[in-house]
Amino acid sequence: MGILNVTPDSFSDGGRHIVVDDALRHAERMLAEGAAIIDVGGESTRPGSQSIPAQQELDRVAPVVERLVRELDALVSVDTSSPEVMRETAALGAGMFNDVRALQCEGALQAAARSGLPICVMHMQGEPSDMQQAPHYAEPIEEAVVRFLAERIAACEAAGIRRERLILDPGFGFGKTVEHNLRLLRRMQHLEALGLPLLVGMSRKSMIGKVLERPVEERLPGGLALAALAVERGARILRVHDVGPSVDAVNMTWAVLQEGLEP
């Protein structure tokens, strides 16, 4: 899954106008490098960021989603928590939703249910604006994540979303210290008990920066190591910035894992 952030700090003309052509070229490159899904997001969920009105988010993502579907025939995931954005982008041909708030916003469960699309539900403690202010858990992190995701699966099923439409994400970096993130990755097999595909996003995240003391533009080697470990521990979709190197890392890891299954 290639990341396509359409926020003013990514593809803008220097003002507040998103340059759709630039975003499309970037998506095209990620597809050529082997991405199967393009994840389009119009609201930053970085630590400390504030949420934005649904209309502003829609103004950013809708033109990009529409052209990705029409011109590149891409499988487009929309990174959103907003029911309005879900409804509108589903009508434009989006193929799945990626909700870091796990369909907890008012109306999101119903909008997702009505769309009939697959949905990634992620664990997050708190909100992006405050989630990294001294994160703390009363139980081991992997147990907290499994319990939360099991509750969200039940809420989805109660709203008419069949289990088979769900993808789960432990939410690395979302209300977690570096120690929580490392422990969660090491013990990610615990999530396999939920019996659904796992998606993970660790690309360029601060856990790499903190362990290796690298700025964001020097985190690729650390990210590839994490990608390989995640695949080995059951991840089936990786949300990444650097698609080409990640595809190689995944294919290499997979070749070793498959060899291990041969008689």
Q: Which residues participate in catalysis according to the annotation?
A: 205, 239
According to CB under 6 A, which one of 122, 124, 226, 235 is a site residue for ligand 9MG? 122
- Residue for token digits 């589903």? 90
Instruction: Find the shortest distance in angstroms from Cβ 76 to ligand 9MG.
Output: 14
Residues of span 62-101 touching ligand 9MG by CB under 6 A: 79, 98, 100
Q: Where are the beta strands (DSSP E) in the chain?
A: 2-5, 38-41, 76-79, 96-99, 119-122, 166-169, 198-200, 235-238
Burial of 243 (0-12, 13-18, 19+ CB in 10 A): buried
C-alpha dihedral, 142 to 145 to 146 to 151, nearest 10°: 160
What type of residue sits at position 187? R
In angstroms, what is the minimal distance from the CB of 114 to ligand 9MG?
Answer: 21
Query: Taking the complex as a whole, how short is the minimal distance between the CB of residue 217 and ligand 9MG, in angstroms?
Result: 18
The span from the CA of 217 to the CA of 219, in Å, is 6
Q: Applying CB under 6 A, does 120 fall inside the site for ligand 9MG?
A: yes
Q: Which residue has the tokens 């990444």?
A: 240
List the end-to-end C-alpha distance of the chain, in Å, as a whole number: 32
Q: Which stretch binds ligand 9MG (CB under 6 A): 52-60, 137-145, 168-176, 241-249?
A: 168-176
Q: In which region does residue 103 sit, left (phi positive, over 0), alpha (psi from -120 to 50) or beta (all else)?
A: left
Residue of 26, 38, 41, 250 that binds ligand 9MG (CB under 6 A): 41
Q: Which residue of 94, 96, 172, 247 would you call a contact of ligand 9MG, by CB under 6 A?
A: 172
Identity of the residue, 109 or 168, whose beta carbon is nearer to ligand 9MG in the bound complex: 168
Q: At 209, list the tokens.
A: 């920066």
Question: Does 199 contact ligand 9MG by CB under 6 A?
Answer: yes
209-248 positions binding ligand 9MG, by CB under 6 A: 239
Residue closer to ligand 9MG, measured from CB, 79 or 88:
79
Binding positions for ligand 9MG, rule: CB under 6 A = 41, 45, 79, 98, 100, 120, 122, 169, 171-172, 199, 201, 239
